[in-house]
Amino acid sequence: MSARVPAADAPRFSVDRIDLAGDRATLRFAGELRFRSCFDAWDEVRDLLRPPPPHLELDVSDVAGLDGGATALLLELRAEAAAAGSDATIVGAKGRVQSMLDLYGAHPRRPSIQAPPARIGILDEIGRETRALLNESNALDFVGDVALAGAQAVRAPGRMNWRDVPRLMERAGADGIPIVLMINFLVGLVTGFQAAIQLEQFGANIFIADLVGLSVTRELAPLMTAIIIAGRSGAAFSAELGTMRVSEEIDALRTLGLDPYQYLVFPRVLALTLVAPLLTVLADVIGIAGGLLVAMFSLDLTFHAYVAQSEKALDLFDVFSGLLKSAVFGLNIGLIACQRGLATRGGAEGVGRSTTSAVVTSLFAIVVLDAVFTVIFHALGH
Amino acid sequence: MPSDTDRTTPPPIIEAASLTIGYGSRVLLDRLDFAIAAGQVFAILGGSGCGKSTLLRHLIGLEVPMSGTISVAGRPPVQDAGPPAYGVLFQSGALFGSMTLAQNVALPLRTWSRLDGEAIDTIVRAKLRLVGLEGFENHMPSELSGGMKKRAGIARALALDPPLLFLDEPSAGLDPVSSVELDQLLLTLNHSLGMTTVIVTHELQSIFAVADACIMLDRDARGIIARGHPATLRDQSDDPRVRAFFNREARPA
């Protein structure tokens, strides 16, 4: 029996099985054993072990060269033969071939300390994720630590990191103004167009001011602004804290006697809570301006008529309920982003995971909170 | 359990008794007993993955032991907000990336002292001079080499003149000259201020240059396999693992 590699461009090797008397057999290897060519023919080589002889010699005396991968295959072949009951040895090695066998064979085999991660089905995955979510003690710890830091802020305000608040407000607020204005202007514009098509049919053009004004101040401006803040600042805070976590900066902070909640979480959460309503005020104005543009150019309303109708339609509650909502959205984004950031594990991949999770969780929470607010305001008669 | 280090005259500043540490349910080091005398330069040695850095994280209170006790200066090492009782140099330096070098070193001074800005600047410059980084005050950490970050980390750890300093692989990644300078700095701090220093390392030259005493950990034994003065262990240990480590030989089979 024999196995040969026919590929013209690959280094050639051959293996022959020679059965001898007394239950002995030899696999004689010859030529250049390179792992690329070995892999192609290795199943045929393994077939040569069947039936396994009680005494097997793997004779490599005619092997001219052996690379690392081929050495690993050869040693594996010996182990397979031994597992099948053969008394297998490698013989005839000399020079570089012997050195390679010594190098790769010197370390004893060790079983894996941990089982490989199992492939799991989608239902299994859903179950695991749900259980992980329910058991997320980190999140509960976090809520407790934030509550403690909040109490500390009231009791000993001097210990909080107020210094970073203006810088963070600038980053989350002032730097985000262009995108907040752009998005909310377009949202006001689109809402205006949608309203214009319907209202024109009934000759109720003037009510575009009511529709745009109410939907922008009560719903769209707080919601769109919160979504922008979650995408910009929530992601940034989570990535920043996550990177600090994996580069031991959070540990260093603790060894300097600084509480990460007071030093990092507090200013970020405060900055977002303050900045979100401020951005929403701008969003309200620019959203209404979007509606105004449609009213003037598509419905032939005058500037004064639109503004007068808006004043009539909107009361302070509409504006302040939106601002209250956006403050809560900001607080929520800040808390989630910081919690995900501080819970980061496992290097660069972990930072990516926590950032994604921060944004997705924030968006989900914003929508849920918005629904809760709507129910509460409805119950209050607004 | 008595150890070599107990026989020195000063009382122990750090004591570990039946200390078992690990991650989750996986035990890394089982039932360790050791004491570190005040004023010593004490080295925690061992090959990669034996749990040296994890032990250090427990000594500085960043991790909670699975069982057993640790006492640092008479109390358990808990990281709570308050002036730190010791300085720590992390493996990567762990400088705050959003601050300049001077701001990094000044942070503990700003937080825990009532000094004015000028006094803090003076101290910051002195600390940076000590580690050979004067002139780099306004550099950001990202503008520094690995060795410079590490030296800046030491300057920050020394900012409040702690009586106890922990260093995780201080010489790793440093060129030989910087490494020797760092060893000299540690010796000077130890001799002139009586600062107790605990170093996690496997740099042999540093160990022989600075350590008064050491313990050697082993991954397979999950514990301490040798303790004493490094040179004594190198010359007199019967344990082939210890001899292999100190003589830079391959691990015995």
pLDDT tens per residue, range A301-359 = 999 999 999 999 999 999 999 999 999 999 999 999 999 999 898 888 889 999 999 99
The 10 Å Cβ neighbour count of residue A132 is: 9
pTM: 0.75
pLDDT at A3 over 80: no
For residue B186, what pLDDT band results from cuts at 50, 70 and 90? confident
pLDDT of A137 strictly over 90: no
Which among A106, A247, A253 is the nearest to B92, CB-wise? A247
Among the partner-chain residues B62, B97, B107, the one whose CB lies closest to the CB of A251 is: B62
pLDDT at B5: 46
pLDDT one-digit tens code per residue, A219-275: 999 999 999 999 999 999 999 999 999 999 999 999 998 889 889 999 999 999 999
Token pair 């293996």 is found at: A15
Most confident range (mean pLDDT) of A178-192, A337-351, B23-37 is: A178-192
pLDDT tens string B43-86: 999 888 889 999 999 999 999 999 999 998 888 887 666 788 88
For residue A251, give the nearest of B81, B90, B97 by CB distance. Answer: B90
Residue B111 to chain A, least CA–CA distance (Å)? 8
Residue A108, CA atoms < 13 Å, CB-side half-sphere: 5
Mean pLDDT of chain A: 88
Closest alpha carbon within chain B to A249: B94
Chain A contacts of B24, Cβ < 8 Å?
Answer: none
CB B242 within 8 A of CB B225: yes
Contact criterion met (CB < 8 Å) for B94 and A247: yes
Confirm or reject contact between B96 and chain A (CB < 8 A): yes
Kindly report, residue by residue over B134-168, the tens digit of the pLDDT: 889 999 999 988 888 988 999 999 898 888 999 99
pLDDT above 50 (res A139): yes
Check residue B203 and give its pLDDT. 85
Does the CB of B253 have a partner CB in chain A at under 8 Å?
A: yes
pLDDT for residue B33 is more than 90: yes
The full DSSP string for A188-249 is HHHHHHHHHHHHHHHT-GGGHHHHHHHHIIIIIHHHHHHHHHIIIIIHHHHHHHHHHHHTTH
Q: Do B81 and A159 touch (CB under 8 A)?
A: yes
Round to whole Å and give the CA distance between B229 and B187.
Answer: 16
B42–A contact, CB cutoff 8 A: no
Instruction: Give the pLDDT of residue A138.
Output: 64
Residue of A nearest to B82 (CA): A257
Contact across the interface for B81 and A257, Cβ inside 8 Å: yes
Share of chain B above pLDDT 70, in %: 93
pLDDT of residue B124 exceeding 60 = yes
Q: How confident is the model at residue B1 (pLDDT cuts 50, 70, 90)?
A: very low
Comparing B206 with A133, the larger pLDDT belongs to: B206
Looking at CA atoms only, how far is residue A128 from chain B in angstroms?
18
Helices (H), A35-67: 35-47
Of A87-91, B3-7, B124-128, B152-156, the poorest mean pLDDT is in B3-7
Q: What is the mean pLDDT of chain B?
A: 86
Task: Specify the pairing of strand A55-66 against strand A87-91.
Answer: parallel
Q: How far is A221 from chain B (nearest CA, A)?
A: 32
Question: How far is it, in rounded angstroms, from Cα A259 to Cα A257?
Answer: 7
Q: Order across the sheet with B67-72: list the strands.
A: B26-37, B12-23, B67-72
Residue in A163, A256, A268 to test binding to B, most B beta-carbons within 10 Å:
A256
- Contact assignment for B111 to A244 by CB distance below 8 Å: no
Smallest Cα distance from A249 to chain B, Å = 5
Question: Which chain A positions have a beta carbon within 8 Å of B80's beta carbon?
Answer: 259
Burial A346-367 (b: 16+ CB within 10 A, else e): eeeebbebbbebbbebbbebbe
Helix (H) or strand (E) holding A376: helix A347-379
Give the ipTM. Answer: 0.79
Portion of chain B with pLDDT greater than 90, in percent:
36
**Is the Cβ pair B81, A258 closer than 8 Å?**
yes
Question: Phi, psi (5° rounding) for residue A97?
Answer: -60, -45
Task: Work out the pLDDT band at A68, boundaries 50, 70, 90.
Answer: confident
**B62 contact A CB<8A:** yes
Chain A residue numbers with beta carbons less than 8 Å from the beta carbon of B88 are 251-252, 255
A300 versus B9: the higher-pLDDT residue is A300
**Six token digits for residue A13:** 């090797």
Average pLDDT on A113-123 reads: 77
Q: Which helix (H) or strand (E) holds B20?
A: strand B12-23
Determine the Cα–Cα distance for residues B58 and B44; give it in Å rounded to an integer.
Answer: 13
Reported as a pLDDT band with limits 50, 70 and 90, residue B9 is low
Q: What is the predicted pLDDT for the residue at A9? A: 56
**CA of A85, closest CA in chain B: separation in Å?**
26
Q: Taking CB atoms and an 8 Å limit, are B156 and A256 in contact across chains?
A: yes
Among A138-142, A305-309, A376-380, whose mean pLDDT is lowest? A138-142
Selected residue with higher pLDDT from B150 and A139: B150
